[in-house]
């Protein structure tokens, strides 16, 4: 990239994203559940031929899950006590000291030898330390934080387990279909994260597994944002098919 004249003074280094704490888990989980869902569909068709079979289980749509607050953790509290934060940080630093140092990456090369579980473990602990530090400024952003309910990975996994037709993936494939309210919420949340720590966050959606592969089809996702204050989530909203416009409809 070449910069000239006034551009030299206006140039800002692009924000780096926060660590994506679901980059490994969701992908594997989605594939496993997709296989289970396919198998269950076949079994269900065969059971229909049997007399006295149990009624089919009713599964919720993403919007139904949102409206019933299945993901909401009503007792959720973000701990901000300075002593607690310092003790947790020291504990994580002690654990990090047990890991061998990460070798320097030669310029222009992607060093792979260190990776795997060790790399993942280090990155996650460093991310938790960063998020604990972010909590020291949490009062500045309280209006936005209180605007959206919190949820946890455990609650998300329960919903996916109980509704095997659903999956959870990064939002990128849904962006063209999202309503203006969703884009506005993502922009607002990212601006908060950048103001807090100079980094953007990651957004995921819970939706029907078939919708992840759909093209030019109205979809109804739940939109999630990874919190900059811990390895948990905030629920930005949910939209039904009536709220979504396909690019082909424009």
Which token pair is 124? Answer: 């996650």
Q: What is the mean pLDDT of residues 20-46?
A: 43
Residue 104 burial by Cβ neighbours in a 10 Å radius (0-12, 13-18, 19+): exposed
Report which DSSP code applies to 75: T
Burial class (CB in 10 A: 0-12, 13-18, 19+), 49: exposed
Rounded mean pLDDT of 213-229?
A: 78
In angstroms, the Cα distances linking 143 to 36, 94, 189, 199, 234 are 41, 35, 12, 20, 13
Least confident of 83-92, 119-128, 206-215, 229-238: 206-215
Radius of gyration of the chain (CA): 21
Whether residue 242 has pLDDT greater than 90: no
pLDDT at 195 over 80: yes
Burial of 2 (0-12, 13-18, 19+ CB in 10 A): exposed
When the pLDDT of each residue in the chain is averaged and rounded to a whole number, the result is 75
- The pLDDT score that the predictor gives to residue 17 is 86
- Rounded to an integer, what distance in angstroms lies between the CA atom of residue 198 and that of residue 192? 9
Identify which has the larger pLDDT, 219 or 235.
235
Q: CA-CA-CA-CA torsion for 63, 215, 247, 185, nearest 10 degrees?
A: 40
- The pTM score is 0.72
At 119 the pLDDT is 78
pLDDT value at residue 175: 85
- Tens of pLDDT, residue by residue over 46-101, are 444 444 555 455 456 776 776 767 787 778 899 999 999 999 999 999 999 998 87
Quick one: which of 217, 89, 233 has its CA closest to 150? 233
Query: Higher confidence at residue 15 or residue 55?
Result: 15
Q: According to the per-residue pLDDT averaged within each range, which of 6-10, 56-60, 139-143, 216-220 is highest?
A: 139-143
Instruction: Enumerate the β-bridge partners of residue 169.
Output: 205
Q: DSSP assignment, residue 135? A: G
């Amino acid at each position: 990239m070449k910069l000239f004249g006034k551009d030299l003074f206006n140039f800002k280094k692009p924000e780096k994203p926060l660590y994506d704490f679901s980059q490994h888990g969701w992908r594997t989980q989605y594939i496993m559940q997709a296989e289970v869902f396919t198998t269950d569909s076949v079994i269900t068709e065969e059971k229909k031929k049997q007399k006295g079979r149990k009624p089919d289980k009713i599964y919720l749509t993403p919007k139904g899950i949102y409206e019933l607050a299945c993901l909401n953790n009503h007792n959720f509290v973000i701990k901000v006590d300075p002593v607690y934060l310092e003790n947790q940080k020291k504990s994580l630093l002690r654990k990090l000291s047990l890991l061998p140092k990460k070798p320097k990456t030669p310029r222009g090369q992607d060093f792979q030898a260190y990776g795997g579980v060790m790399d993942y473990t280090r990155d996650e602990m460093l991310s938790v330390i960063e998020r604990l530090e972010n909590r020291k400024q949490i009062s500045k952003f309280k209006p936005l934080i209180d605007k959206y309910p919190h949820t946890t990975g455990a609650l998300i996994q329960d919903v996916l387990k109980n509704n095997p037709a659903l999956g959870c993936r990064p939002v990128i494939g849904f962006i063209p279909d999202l309503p203006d309210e969703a884009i506005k919420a993502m922009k607002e949340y990212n601006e908060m994260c950048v103001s807090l720590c100079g980094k953007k966050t990651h957004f995921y959606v819970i939706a029907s597994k078939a919708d992840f592969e759909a093209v030019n089809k109205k979809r109804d996702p739940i939109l999630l944002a990874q919190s900059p204050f811990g390895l948990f989530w905030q629920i930005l909203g949910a939209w039904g098919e009536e709220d979504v416009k396909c690019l082909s409809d424009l």
